[in-house]
Amino acid sequence: MKSPLALAAGILLTSAMSASAHHTVTSLFDTTRFVTLQGTLTRVEWRAPHVILRLETRRGDGSLIEWNVETENPQELARAGLSLDSFKVGETFKATVCVAKDGTRWAVTHEIAKPGGVATVSMGGC
C-alpha cells in the first residue's frame, strides 16, 4: 500500500504536468492582428480540450496549403450554436484567426463564418 504522502506527491506532479501542457493563447499566437483564412474543410477533430479544423486554402500562386485551426472545446462551440454537424468535410468556410508566432500553419479562432451565418468562437485573447 502506498503512503498518503507518495499519493499526494503523485497527484501534484500529474496536475503540474497537465497544467504546463495546456498553452495560453498569447504565448503561442500573435493576438495583436487578425488574419482571415478562406478555404475547404478537409478534417474535423471534435474532441476536448479543443476542436481542430483542418482548412485547405490557396496561396496567391494557386498552390494549396493546409492550416490547423484550433477552436474552443465542444461545449463552448455548442453554446455558440455549433455542433459536429455544423462542420462538413468539403464545405467552404472562412475563419478570422490569430496565427502562430513560430510561423507554422497553426491558428486559433476569433470567428467562423459559414454559409448559414457567423459564430464567434474566440480562443482566449484572440
Can you give the pLDDT at residue 86?
Answer: 86
Domains of the chain and CATH, by start? 25-119 (2.40.50.1010)
Higher pLDDT, 16 or 101: 101
What digits encode the pLDDT tens for the residues 22-70? 457 888 999 998 999 999 999 999 999 999 999 999 999 999 999 999 9
Residue linked to cell 490569430: 98
3-class secondary-structure state, position 125:
coil
Contact at 8 Å (CB) between 108 and 29? yes
One-letter amino acid of 59:
R
**Angle at CA 18, nearest 5°, toward 15 and 52?**
150
